[in-house]
Homo-oligomer: A and B are copies of this chain.
Amino acid sequence: MALRDILIVSAALAAVPGLTLAAAPAADEPIQPVEPAKITNARMVDLGKELFFDPRLSKSGVISCNSCHNLAMGGTDNIKTSVGHRWTKGPINAPTVLNAGLNVAQFWDGRAADLKEQAGGPIANPGEMGSSAELAVEVLQTIPAYVRSFKEVFGSEKITIDAVTRAIAAYEETLATPNSRFDKWLKGDKKALTQTELAGYALFKDAGCVSCHNGPNVGGSSFQKMGAVEPYKTTNPAQGRFDVTRNEDDRMMFKVPSLRNIELTYPYFHDGEAATLTEAVTTMGKVQLGRDFTSEETGKIVSFLKTLTGDQPKVVLPVLPPSTDRTPRPEPF
């Protein structure tokens, strides 16, 4: 085979999706790169974006999906537990919506199978958006531009909560964050990480963090016991999967959170009690691995974790269609 032919074959192989010649090492790693979102139904995604940003899905008219999953802040609200309807204190830390479609299930306790099932929860939760499926649909049904969009996307002018949550989920599925420095390294760019960051990754693997935080989402693929080695002390009453199954074996079994964009998604843990990455790594070492990381070790792991921040979704704020005279008014007070 002449050199020219080899080059042509190489180029052809490189064009095969998922197969990058330069990325040979990635196959051996327990973490895989996040791929950019593939948009198959752009109109549904656009509609879902409008709904994601529309506070009229809440009873008060001031809380949207984006209030707690703020796309300016890593898809979170950066507080321990969220502020809900009438300033209700949320029971648990709001997980990021970024790359959430990669998770095995939704919510910390996995009570929703997928993003669509998740999306309906907060809308109707009295302590979150405080509305109801019926009211949310009634609001949208009175807004001609929404009716046109639903007709176009779902084939009917009659809006349903099923269509609403499908559209929101379709938008959320697009919120992937590819091209983190770590992913560039995985794909073969050996200069993408510093020696300290590489040492942090090595320790992350050696110490056993990676046994739960693996796969493309660096977590999100299993439920694990918070406090596997040593009980985790918290005043937060959440018991993880146990709250869903009432099975004693599920006590304190929480969905392993993704570590993607972890620098942006503070504070940490289901109770939001770890304010900083240093604190989170120290506690995880202790209660999950029975290990007291030195501050040098913690520093290395933290420096690795910060390489997991990917390209944030470019979000052009939607211009929401106005309410009409028939639209039920928000009731914030």
Q: Which residues of A contact B (CB under 8 A)?
A: 53-56, 60-62, 67, 70-74, 77-79, 83, 86-87, 89, 263-264, 266-267, 275-276, 278, 312, 314-320, 322-323, 325, 329-330, 332-333
CB of A284, distance to nearest CB on chain B (Å): 17
CB of A60, distance to nearest CB on chain B (Å): 7
A264 nearest in chain B by CB position: B322
Q: How far is the CA of A333 from the CA of B86 in the complex (A)?
A: 12
Q: How far is the CA of A330 from the CA of B62 in the complex (A)?
A: 19
Which of chain B's residues have a CB closer than 8 A to the CB of A275? 325, 329
- A74 contacts B318, CB within 8 Å? no
- B67 contacts A83, CB within 8 Å? no
- A266 contacts B322, CB within 8 Å? yes
- B83 contacts A60, CB within 8 Å? yes
- B319 contacts A83, CB within 8 Å? no
- A322 contacts B61, CB within 8 Å? no
Complex partner residue of A319 from B72, B77, B278, B317, CB under 8 angstroms: B72
Complex partner residue of A316 from B60, B70, B314, CB under 8 angstroms: B314
- B89 contacts A333, CB within 8 Å? yes
Given contacts A86-B87, A316-B316, A317-B317, is CB(A322)–CB(B77) below 8 Å? no
16 additional contacts, CB 8 Å, given A61-B78, A73-B322? Answer: A53-B72, A56-B78, A60-B79, A60-B83, A61-B77, A71-B317, A79-B330, A83-B333, A86-B87, A87-B87, A89-B332, A266-B322, A267-B329, A275-B325, A312-B319, A315-B317
CB of A129, distance to nearest CB on chain B (Å): 13
Complex partner residue of A73 from B60, B264, B320, B333, CB under 8 angstroms: B320
- A263 contacts B322, CB within 8 Å? yes
Which of chain B's residues have a CB closer than 8 A to the CB of A78? 56, 61, 323, 330
Given contacts A67-B62, A71-B317, A333-B89, is CB(A325)–CB(B276) below 8 Å? yes
Which of chain B's residues have a CB closer than 8 A to the CB of A314? 316
CB of A84, distance to nearest CB on chain B (Å): 10
CB of A144, distance to nearest CB on chain B (Å): 12
User: Considering the complex of A and B, which 7 residue pairs feature the smallest CB-CB distances, nearest first?
Assistant: A87-B87, A315-B317, A312-B319, A276-B325, A72-B320, A61-B79, A62-B83
Given contacts A316-B314, A318-B72, is CB(A278)–CB(B79) below 8 Å? no
Which of chain B's residues have a CB closer than 8 A to the CB of A73? 55, 320, 322
Q: How far is the CA of A325 from the CA of B21 in the complex (A)?
A: 40
Q: How far is the CA of A248 from the CA of B83 in the complex (A)?
A: 42
CB of A172, distance to nearest CB on chain B (Å): 15
Q: How far is the CA of A265 from the CA of B37 in the complex (A)?
A: 35
Q: How far is the CA of A70 from the CA of B74 in the complex (A)?
A: 20
Q: How far is the CA of A319 from the CA of B276 in the complex (A)?
A: 19
CB of A260, distance to nearest CB on chain B (Å): 14
